[in-house]
Amino acid sequence: MKLQLASEHLEDYLKEIPPVIDFSSTAIKQEIRTIESKASSKKERAIIAFEFVRDKIQHSFDTSCSF
Whole-number average pLDDT of the chain: 87
Taking the CA atoms of residue 13, residue 29, residue 48 and residue 50 in that order, the dihedral angle to the nearest 10 degrees is -30
What per-residue confidence (pLDDT) applies to 65?
A: 58
Q: What are the residues whose beta carbons fall under 8 Å from the beta carbon of 46, sequence distance 6 or more?
A: none
Confidence of residue 18 (pLDDT cuts 50, 70, 90): confident
Q: 3-class DSSP state for residue 45? A: helix
Query: Is the Cβ–Cβ distance between 52 and 31 less than 8 Å?
Result: yes
- Of 10-14, 16-20, 62-66, the poorest mean pLDDT is in 62-66
What per-residue confidence (pLDDT) applies to 29?
A: 93
Task: Please tell me the distance from the alpha carbon of residue 5 to that of residue 38, in angstroms, as a whole number.
Answer: 34
What per-residue confidence (pLDDT) applies to 47?
A: 97
Task: Please tell me the distance from the alpha carbon of residue 54 to that of residue 17, in angstroms, as a whole number.
Answer: 19
